[in-house]
Amino acid sequence: MIILFDLDGTVIDSTEAILESFFVACEENRCEKPSAEAIKKLIGYPLDVMFGRVGVKPELVWKCVASYKEHYRLISTQKTVLLPRAKEAVELASSFARLGVVTTKTARYSKELLEHFGILHRFEVLVGREDVQNPKPHPEPILNALEMMHVKGKKDVWMVGDTKLDLECAKEAGVDAVAVLGGYGEKEELKCYGFPLRSDVYDAVTYLQKNGKK
């Protein structure tokens, strides 16, 4: 079995780091500061999309992205935490499946965070924003991960994530998924995709341990 995990809202909570970096980027580039709620609704999208959707002028979007990354790099490990039972979930999953990460976060920072939390070694691959032309919800991130893992078929391949972007990505890639609640996605929105819903990533992994093999 292959299990591919999203990060933000699924395995980690980096809301504080994301918001602070967003506000710093807007201040440095003299953009109107968006609300925290507006930002949180967009977590999961690539940074350029997020800045554009909160009203940053197109000519300033990539300057904001650069400012964001510069600040995020400095604070990410201090202002990010593992979600409850996430480490246990990853460790359990690694006992019966091959694991990967599929995220729209920068791969470099994602690897640093997972190393910081002592779970990077559990994952065979990590596909980040710079590894694809088309981020989630496009299927390319999942397809890239499977190619890197030398997986030819799509049987017993699962995506675990907390937003519609993860579920759309799985659907378009032709793999199964489990949606986790308590992240950034709304329950009613996630239910629309017809995939199993679980309370958190640990419940998702125990579900897959019992029901994942086909």
For the range 114-119, what are the long-range contacts, defined as Cβ-Cβ under 8 Å and sequence gap of 24 or more? 116/77, 117/12, 117/82, 117/87, 118/87, 119/87, 119/90, 119/91
Best CA proximity match to 43, nearest among 22, 59, 27: 22
CA distances from 146 to 150, 170, 208 (A): 6, 12, 18
CA distances from 152 to 2, 54, 97, 147, 148 (A): 12, 40, 16, 7, 10
**Does the annotation mark 6 as catalytic?**
yes
Q: Which among 6, 131, 166, 203 is annotated as catalytic? A: 6
Q: Tell me which residues are annotated as active site.
A: 6
